[in-house]
Amino acid sequence: MSYTFSVPVWLGGKENSMELLEQRICKDGKIYAGDVLKIDSFLNHQMDVDFLSVLGKEFYRLFADCGVNKILTMEASGIGIACMTAQFFHCPVVYAKKGRSSNMASDVWRSQVHSYTHGSDHDVVVSRQYLGEHDRVLIVDDFLARGSAAMALLNICRQAGATVVGFGVCVEKTYQEGERLLRNAGVRVEALAKIKRMTPDGTIEFDR
């Protein structure tokens, strides 16, 4: 499957941003063993800030009326898209830090994550200073697969007494259970590209 792709043209609306991201995934994505899609040439290692800004603007359009005053994401791969989204909400970004123990456990909200790409469990923490009951949080991440990262962030918000207005994710793999877990937990999920199927030979099918 070949696509041509140039500078994104923002026409507004979810259909348009989904199409842009799908085209970019087809152009630059690589499928690795373990059901991992790499799009780190523009999303989460090298970052195409003009393109991420288009995606961030779409998250803003989707959640603009939710009173968001904080964006929460996971270290490290969610930080880029979270910051590019926060510029439209004019609010701070907080990221959950991985694998670092705090001197005082009482200073942090803590949850456990099973890493999809590394296959191991680890704790993530957020300082109590930066998340509390006055916060209306949009959780943002690069991928949604089995939902462990998103559920850990939700768990941290619930410990803090913060309100979660929703979860905005760039790429959801709809054949995995993450979206269902979040929906069952009462969280609104918005994905900018939905992958229905991908195979090691490079075929990617999208859902709308």
Backbone angles phi, psi at 189, to 5 degrees: -120, 130
Q: Which of 141, 157, 166, 168 binds ligand 5GP (CB under 6 A)?
A: 141
Residue 117 found at the interface with ligand 5GP (CB under 6 A): yes
- Within residues 151-180, the interface with ligand 5GP by CB under 6 A covers 178
Q: Which of 54, 139, 149, 156 binds ligand 5GP (CB under 6 A)?
A: 149
Closest Cα partner for 122 from 98, 105, 141?
98
State yes or no: residue 83 binds ligand 5GP (CB under 6 A): no
**Cβ–Cβ < 8 Å for 207, 195:** yes
CA distance 98 to 123: 6
Establish if 17 lies at the interface with ligand 5GP (CB under 6 A): no
HSE (side-chain half, CA atoms, 13 Å) at 186 = 6
Taking the C-alpha atoms of residue 80 and residue 83, their distance in angstroms, rounded to an integer, is: 5
Side by side, which strands form the sheet with 189-198? 108-114, 121-127, 93-98, 70-74, 136-144, 163-173, 189-198, 204-207
Among 164, 172, 166, which Cα is nearest to 192's?
Answer: 172
**Of 58-66, 101-109, 132-140, 144-152: span binding ligand 5GP (CB under 6 A):** 144-152
- # residues near ligand 5GP by CB under 6 A: 18
Shortest spacing between CB 152 and ligand 5GP, in angstroms: 8
Binders in 25-44 for ligand 5GP, by CB under 6 A: 36-38
Question: Stretches 22-30, 57-65, 82-90, 136-144: which one binds ligand 5GP (CB under 6 A)?
Answer: 136-144
Smallest separation (angstroms) from ligand 5GP to the CB of 19? 20
Q: Which is nearer to ligand 5GP, 37 or 192 (CB)?
A: 37
Query: β-pairing, 108-114 with 121-127?
Result: antiparallel
Taking CB under 6 A as the binding criterion, the range among 21-29, 96-104, 138-146, 199-207 that sits at the site for ligand 5GP is 138-146
| Residue 96 to residue 110: CA distance in whole angstroms | 9
Nearest approach, Cβ of residue 21 and ligand 5GP (Å) = 14
Query: Which positions lie near ligand 5GP, rule CB under 6 A?
Result: 36-38, 74, 77, 116-117, 141-150, 178
